[in-house]
Structure 1
Amino acid sequence: MGKDSKSKDAGAKGKGKGKQAGGGSEENVSKGKGKSGKASDGLGTCTYVKARHILCEKQGKINEAYQKLQDGWLSNGDKVPPAEFAKVASEYSECPSGKKGGDLGWFPRGKMAGPFQDVAFATPIGATSAPFKSTHGYHIILSEGRKN
């Protein structure tokens, strides 16, 4: 599995913020390792992530999508169910994956570039990221799983 520095589909280059929503904090992206060599929080060492995302060209549109998630779940501290995230992605996402509920499937570290990869690998399983910017537009990510 060599690293592919070119982004595909939802990969992104550029600067952006990767803060988590729904009670997450930047402390959640700690990469401290225990005796097993794995990060104590499981975020820093995984090789693959399974994720859904919403991509919008305009910040106003991604904010609308995020507000819909916020009103339904995040403001109550709940996690957004994947099926509900998929409905919002189908409605708002401008990425071809939007037709599949934003499903990106499993992807390895190195496939997605820049802030997209950073946020995807830093968002805890079941959590939804806050909107962030890449060169492709504005994204929201729902982390569905991780594995080595």
Structure 2
Amino acid sequence: MGKDSKPKEAKGKGKQAGGGSDETASKGKGKAGKSADGLGTCTYVKVNFNLDISARHVLCEKQGKINEAYKKLQDGWLNNGDKVPPAEFAKIAAEYSECPSGKKGGDLGWFPRGKMAGPFQEVAFNTPVGATSAPFKSTHGYHIILCEGRKN
């Protein structure tokens, strides 16, 4: 009986710890939370100018209109090497954006990788925090993004 109880205890502990031996659990822990690109599996981007509002952008159907909005950002800040103040980006979004979010200064909320269409996601996740993207095209039209924060 004593011999039978020890292996049963070991199996029980293995199941409670994740269904495998300590060696298997260690290997699993090393991989947990990592994706193939080495980033966390739940990465979010905040495209915004207020810390309490998650994501913002300017969306225009015509390239000429988005270029006009971007020129205002360039003339006011970007040509001087400055970052666009969040409140000013919000004004540009409210004035130029044709997205319903334009009425709220371009607010899109927090979003994870995989939620937005290809080009939008790529630009959003590759724009440094505090920086403004150059105009780019997606399936919805032409955009400018202000990235203000990231969280996992």
TM norm structure 2: 0.67
Q: Secondary structure at the match of 1:125?
A: coil
Percent pairwise identity: 89
- Runs of 4+ in structure 1 off by over 2 angstroms are none
Matched pairs, number: 107
- Which residue in 2 is equivalent to 1:117? 121
Query: Which of 53, 63, 70 does residue 66 from structure 1 map onto?
Result: 70
Structure 1 gap segments, 5+ residues each: 1-36, 39-43
Partner residue, 1:77: 81
Match of 1:133? Answer: 137
In structure 1, the residue matched to 2:45 is 49
Q: Aligned partners of 1:105, 1:124: CA distance in 2, in Å? A: 18
* Equivalent in 75, 81, 87 of residue 91 of structure 2: 87
How big is each residue's C-alpha offset from its partner over 1:75-117, in whole Å with a ceiling of 9 and x where there is no partner?
0000001110000000000000101101112111111021000
Greater share of helix:
2
Task: Give distance in 2, aligned partners of 1:107 and 1:100.
Answer: 17
Answer yes or no: is the 8 Å Cα contact 2:57–2:106 preserved in 1: yes
Distance 1:75 1:103 in 2: 25
- Deviation at 1:50? 1.1
Contact 2:117–2:138 under 8 Å retained in 1:
no
Q: CA RMSD in A?
A: 1.6
Q: Which has the higher contact order (CA 8 A, sep 6+)?
A: 1
Normalising by structure 1, report the TM-score: 0.69
Give 5+ residue unaligned stretches, structure 2. 1-32, 48-55
How far apart in 2 are the matches of 1:115 and 1:94?
A: 18
